[in-house]
């Protein structure tokens, strides 16, 4: 560990500097997001799911709201590695040298899992949900007139949570290396965690069994993977601590 002891004021000043770096990079990402938003929105409008509807703007501000919403989300995604690095840099002085190297590798893993979660929800879950909604409309002989703002809001509400939920293994691994949780704790609270995941799955899917299972089962698998990863990280943390103490 870093032997330098920092006062509370020094910690606050360090945190302020790192937050400032994040804010500056976020505003730079917003500028970059303005150039990326248009091709992304145009691409999403010409997918097979979107072409099933006639997307309309019901208010003059709807296209602008969609554009700004995507710009903000793109900026957050671009800024996320910087946020994670600044978080790592803030807590790393309290870690052993081996722990610092290992936890730094979590940043690209976290970004990869986020993109994997987005891909799973967009390419697998979202088409199924859209098809389910269309079948209900056809059965009820309802002609759907969809607003572009409502369509993209529904898309983001379904896909973004998966990007965040797929971070579970990395979060568990990081917290285990910090000593805040243990694999034994995760096993002991498994039934409560499953209940929470069931509720989360119900909140982000339509009231239909198959789509609910398509969300719930991957979440359960992620939790079990997190337990395995936590056991691995726990053993590594114990070994690293013993090596540092024996120096």
Give 137-191 pLDDT, tens digit per residue.
888 888 888 889 889 998 998 888 888 888 888 888 878 877 788 889 999 999 9
- Higher-pLDDT residue of 103, 150: 150
Which tens digit of pLDDT belongs to each residue from 107-141? 888 888 899 989 988 998 888 888 888 888 888 88
Would you call 64 helix, strand, or coil by DSSP?
A: helix
Task: Mark out the alpha helices in 47-147 (DSSP H runs).
Answer: 62-91, 97-104, 106-120, 126-139
Q: What is the pLDDT of residues 182-235, one digit of tens each?
A: 889 999 999 999 999 888 888 877 777 777 788 888 889 999 999 998 888 888
Pick 192 or 97 by higher pLDDT. 192
State residue 3's pLDDT score.
44
pLDDT of residue 215: 83
- Token pair 């995941």: residue: 197
The beta-carbon contacts of 146-149 under 8 Å, at least 24 apart in sequence, are: 146/53, 146/54, 146/55, 146/56, 147/55, 147/56, 147/57, 147/58, 147/62, 148/45, 148/55, 148/56, 148/57, 148/62, 148/63, 148/66, 149/57, 149/58, 149/59, 149/62, 149/65, 149/66
Structure tokens at 107: 């940043």
pTM attached to this predicted model: 0.79
pLDDT tens, residue by residue, 17-72 = 999 999 999 999 999 999 999 999 999 988 877 877 778 888 889 999 999 999 99
CB-based contact 161:219 (threshold 8 Å) = no
């Amino acid at each position: 560990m870093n032997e330098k002891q920092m006062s509370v004021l020094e910690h606050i000043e360090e945190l302020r500097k790192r937050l400032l770096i994040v804010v500056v990079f976020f505003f730079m990402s917003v500028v970059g997001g303005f150039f990326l938003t248009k091709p992304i929105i145009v691409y999403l409008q010409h997918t097979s799911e979107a072409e099933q509807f006639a997307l309309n703007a019901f208010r003059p501000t709807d296209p602008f709201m969609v554009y700004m919403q995507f710009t903000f989300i793109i900026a957050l995604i671009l800024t996320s590695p910087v946020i994670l690095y600044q978080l790592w840099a803030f807590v790393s002085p309290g870690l052993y040298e081996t722990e610092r190297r290992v936890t730094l590798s979590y940043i690209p893993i976290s970004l990869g899992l986020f993109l994997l979660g987005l891909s799973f929800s967009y390419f697998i879950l979202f088409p199924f949900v859209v098809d389910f909604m269309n079948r209900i409309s056809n059965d009820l002989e309802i002609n759907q007139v969809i607003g572009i703002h409502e369509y993209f809001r529904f898309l983001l509400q379904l896909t973004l949570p998966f990007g965040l939920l797929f971070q579970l293994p990395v979060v568990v691994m990081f917290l285990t290396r910090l000593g805040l949780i243990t694999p034994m704790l995760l096993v002991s609270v498994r039934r409560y965690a499953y209940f929470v995941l069931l509720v989360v799955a119900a909140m982000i899917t339509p009231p239909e069994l198959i789509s609910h299972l398509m969300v719930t089962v991957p979440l359960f698998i992620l939790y079990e993977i997190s337990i395995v990863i936590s056991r691995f990280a726990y053993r590594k943390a114990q070994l690293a601590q013993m090596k540092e103490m024996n120096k």
